[in-house]
Amino acid sequence: MPVTHVLGYPRIGSGRELKVALEGFWKGKIEQSELLEVGRALRARHWGEQRTAGLDLVTVGDFAWYDSVLQTLAHLGAIPRRFGFNPRELTLRQYFEAARGNARQPAMELTKWFDTNYHYIVPEWSADTRFDGGVEWLFEEASEALDEGHSAKVALVGPLTLLYLGKIKSGLAHKLDLLPPLIANYQRLLARLEALGVDWVQLDEPVLGLDLDRRWIDAFRPTYEALTRTSCAVLFATYFESVEEHAALLKSLPVAGIHLDLVRGPGQLRTFLDGYPDLKVLSLGVIDGRNIWRADLHAALDRLRPAYEQLGDLLWISATCSLLHVPLDLMHEKMLDPELYSWLAFAKQKLTEISALNRALVLGVDSVAEAFESSEAAANSRRHSDRVYSRAVRDQLETVVASDFERSSFFEARSRAQRSRLNLPLLPTTTIGSFPQTSEVRKARAAFRNGDLSQEDYRQRIQQEIGRTIAQQEELGLDVLVHGEAERTDMVEYFAEQLRGFALTEHGWVQSYGSRCVKPPIVYGDVERPTPMTVEWARYARRLTAKPVKGMLTGPITMLQWSFVRDDQPRETTAMQIALALRCEVADLEADGVAIIQIDEPALREGLPLKRRRGDEYLKWAVRAFRLASCGVKDDTQIHTHMCYADFADILPAIVELDADVITIEASRSGMELLDAFRGFHYPHDIGPGMFDVHSSRVTDTESMFELIEKAAQVIPVDRLWVNPDCGLKTRDWPETEAALRGMVEAAHRMRALVESRLPVRHAVQ
């Protein structure tokens, strides 16, 4: 029979046990031994779930204490030397300091894993990078699985993907200069695993789905010729894109097997089957690892049949990519509408879909008739459900005209009107939106949801927190305030629960990075806004201060990217429906007197297709969606947007096309490296590069932030420069927040005084 497996499995646990344990360890509430036991228990449980579902191989190495890339660096001994850690004796506490920073060193950079909302720790490459061996964690985990009697496949980030995703910091001409010592260390890993009794190692190389230059492509053959000299069989795994153009290369590599994503690249299978080598495994990802819709098992079976007829037992059946990107278990959802529930499959349910396909392929559909009948019923139900389609939304989209995508004046005229209305100082200071969510706020929200707190009492609790947040910002001396978002569990979920066409889960948690988990909403139908969503809170905050208070919204592309989106219509159509709903909210905020409206789009870059040839089409409609949401305001209403933790350098023209008056952007982890892209680009609007990393407990000192402002002022004219953190402050505590903001404001005041002593206010420093 074909072999069934997955490329990876969610590691946070059904009750987010890993998150709770991590945060307990970081706060000193539990010992390392307790954290280690949580990890062991989760791994054992998840391997057990894979075996119970009927999978032939369990996956080892997909568990990580913070991130799989950082975990790989720990295995290799390649944690940056600036931390001063002994790579072979790296402790868990030191590992976390690399991810989160410490008193001496800032955290390693964090950015998006391809086009997902998962964040990885960016490797740092330099001439003194060493791969001399690291921790024993991987070997210990492999031994755990083998000792429990499992047939184990170890999963690792592949060497070329690891190199490509890193950044050169110093003394290195090209990343590939590090390839020879890196290969040697991977050989060491594979040899150790083979000695333990591991038969298969899965090396993930999703980078092959990108548009690589010739030097990178040419590196694959010698790399894998060297790695496959060990007796450990290597499964070369690609996903997130078609790799059809590399079919000849992959078929000729001396690896034991290849994995393909047939959801993102369905057309590539025919090319690979043509002349596919004898005795080489072909693993096909036919179950979507990126979305939560139940599989059409009949369609998936039809896709597998030609491969099975040609390959027989050399066919492997899997999900497209790691199931890290979907929630763990649908069975925990008790509040979903039964019809919607029947359309869904989370990670654990996807395991049974893989097993059902295997049995149907070998023994016939009748052997798993119930699974196939249920799949077909769900597809028919979804196709004909009244909840999916709205004539009103469709009609509204048809009334959109070209002028709806344009501001009435160019930026220069708008900027004059906004300065006159807002009367802000040079280098205005602000935050991105959220402030720390205290345990009291979370308890009040839970009590309200459980019916233990009346709506009026809940409103008063939130108003008290808004009052505290406004007062604190005024005391700190910030120029543009926010209400703090105490009422919001999440920047997407908050809006999704108020929009038709969205559904929320109770336990549909997905890891974003480290202990940070999100609960992506589900877009199942046409989207519309029944009532205003944020006006009440913005109005209350504005009553408490004479300073401007931003209205805070999440943009249409981020709503799209950070949700599980319907797959029965183009993503562009869904984005435009969300944009129309937000346009109504923007209009209501402006009518209520809000002078600054921030529409966050941190996921704009994330949505860019991995192949450049499709990038222009995506950026065109993504920009149009943002403009549809934002362009219905007057000249003196200032539109902000925010972006973070992605490489935006290659989409700067599209960012300009958004036509936002102010963009705030993450920059501190890279030491303003991102601004290098702006140096030759002459970004025409206002910009606020982040001055401190909100995802690190390390409080950046005033002098460091002053130096970052100086560095930014060398690139951006000072009269178009804002001062702000990298991102929202929701995950920080109040003492950290106050200390960091106080230092930021002081740094801005020092720079302001320096500039104004030399130049007239509003004179640009080039």
Predicted confidence (pLDDT) per residue in 536-553, tens digit? 999 999 999 999 999 999
pLDDT band for position 761 (cuts 50, 70, 90): very low
Instruction: Over range 487-512, report the average pLDDT.
Output: 95
pLDDT at 669 over 70: no
* pLDDT bucket at 1, cuts 50 / 70 / 90: confident
Per CATH, the architecture of 3-384 is what? Alpha-Beta Barrel (3.20)
636 CB-near residues (< 8 Å, 6+ apart): 414, 417, 418, 420, 421, 595
Give percent of the chain with pLDDT exceeding 70: 97
CA 4 to CA 268: how far, in whole Å?
A: 21
pLDDT above 70 for 760: no
Asked if pLDDT for residue 763 goes beyond 60, the answer is: no
Give domain limits for the chain.
Answer: 3-384, 407-757
Residues 6 or more apart whose CB falls under 8 angstroms from that of 164 comprise: 175, 207, 210, 212, 216
Asked if pLDDT for residue 107 goes beyond 50, the answer is yes
Q: What is the pLDDT of residue 665?
A: 87
Q: What is the pLDDT of residue 716?
A: 87
State pLDDT tens for residues 26-73. Answer: 999 999 999 999 999 999 999 999 999 999 999 999 999 999 999 999
Answer whether 566's CB lies under 8 Å from 574's CB. Answer: yes
Whether 4 contacts 284, CB under 8 Å = no
Position 671 pLDDT exceeds 70: no
HEC string for 601-635: CCCCCCCCCCCHHHHHHHHHHHHHHHHHHHCCCCC
Q: What is the pTM of this model?
A: 0.92
User: Rounded to the nearest 5°, which phi and psi values hold at 720?
Assistant: -120, 20
What are the residues whose beta carbons fall under 8 Å from the beta carbon of 623, sequence distance 6 or more? 654, 657, 658
Q: HEC profile for 309-352?
A: HHHHHHEEEEECCCHHHCCCCHHHCCCCCHHHHCCECCHHHHHH
Whether 325 sits among the annotated catalytic residues: the reply is no
Q: Nearest to residue 250, comparing CAs of 275, 226, 287?
A: 275
Apex CA 368: angle with CA 366 and CA 374, to 5°? Answer: 105
Residues 6 or more apart from 331 whose CB is under 8 A from it?
348
pLDDT, position 486: 92
Mean pLDDT of 376-399: 95
The neighbouring-strand residues paired with 235 are 202, 257
Q: How far is the C-alpha of 230 from the C-alpha of 62, rounded, in Å? A: 22
CA distance 580 to 443: 34
Do 3-384 and 407-757 fold alike per CATH? Answer: yes
Question: What string of DSSP letters covers 509-535?
Answer: -EEEETTEEE---EEEEEEE-SS-SSH
Cα–Cα distance measured from residue 472 to residue 208, given in angstroms and rounded to the nearest whole number: 49
Residue-level pLDDT at 513: 92
Element (H, E) at 234: strand 233-237
- pLDDT (average), residues 20-28: 97
What are the Cα distances from residue 721, in Å, to 311, 478, 598, 659, 710?
61, 15, 16, 16, 11
Contact present, 292 and 344 (Cβ < 8 Å): yes
Q: What is the pLDDT of residue 380?
A: 96
Amino acid letter at 161? Answer: T
Decide if pLDDT at 574 tops 90. yes
Rounded to the nearest 10 degrees, the angle between the axes of helix 32-52 and helix 92-100 is 90
Contacting residues for 143 by C-beta, under 8 A, at least 6 apart: 196
Q: What type of residue is 86?
A: N
152: left (phi over 0), alpha (psi -120 to 50) or beta: beta
Instruction: Return d(Cα 73, Cα 93) in angstroms, integer.
Output: 15
> pLDDT averaged over the chain?
94
pLDDT, residue 762, reads: 41
Report the chain's terminal Cα–Cα distance, integer Å. 68
Q: Report the alpha-carbon distance of residue 35 to residue 65 in Å, rounded.
A: 10
pLDDT for 764 equals 40
Continuous H helices in 399-507: 411-422, 439-449, 455-476, 493-496
Q: CA separation (Å) from 415 to 409, 418, 476, 637, 753? A: 10, 5, 26, 9, 23
CATH top-level class of 407-757: alpha beta
How many other CB atoms are there within 10 angstroms of residue 686's CB atom?
22
- pLDDT bucket at 645, cuts 50 / 70 / 90: low
Bridge-based pairing of strands 257-261 and 233-237 is parallel
Q: What are phi and psi of 213, to 5 degrees?
A: -80, 170
Handedness of CA 27, 32, 33, 38 (dihedral sign): positive
Say if residue 404's pLDDT is above 60. Answer: yes
Q: Could you tell me the pLDDT band of residue 646, with boundaries at 50, 70 and 90?
A: low
Q: How far apart are CA 153 and CA 59, in angstroms?
A: 5
Task: Inform me whether the pLDDT recorded for 732 exceeds 70.
Answer: yes
pLDDT tens, residue by residue, 605-643: 889 999 988 999 999 999 999 999 999 999 999 999 998
User: Could you give the CA distance from residue 75 to residue 132 in angstroms, rounded to a whole number?
Assistant: 10
Phi, psi of 383 (to 5 degrees): -65, -30
Q: Above 60 in pLDDT, residue 766?
A: no
Q: Is the torsion defined by CA of 503, 504, 510, 511 positive or negative? A: positive
pLDDT in tens, 230-284: 778 999 999 999 999 999 999 999 999 999 999 999 999 999 999 999 999 999 9
pLDDT of residue 673: 67
Tell me the HSE value of 51 on the side-chain side, using a 13 A CA sphere: 15
Helix (H, G, I), strand (E, B) or coil at 722: coil
Residue whose token pair is 């350098």: 649
| Contacts with 136 (C-beta within 8 Å, 6 or more apart), sequence order | none
Check whether 371 has a pLDDT greater than 70.
Answer: yes
CA angle 369, 375, 377 (to 5 degrees): 100
Q: Which of 5, 150, 642, 695 is catalytic?
A: 695
Both tokens of residue 63? 């568990």
Q: Quote the distance between the C-alpha of residue 71 and its chain's center.
A: 18
DSSP 68: H
In sequence order, the 6+-apart residues with CB closer than 8 A to the CB of 123 are 69, 73, 78, 108, 162, 163, 165, 166, 167
User: Is residue 99 a contact partner of residue 49, using CB atoms and an 8 Å limit?
Assistant: no
pLDDT of residue 647: 66
- Give the rounded distance of the alpha carbon of 446 from its chain centre: 26
Alpha-carbon gap, residue 556 to 575, rounded angstroms: 6
Does residue 655 contact residue 681 with C-beta atoms inside 8 Å?
no
CB 214 within 8 A of CB 224: no
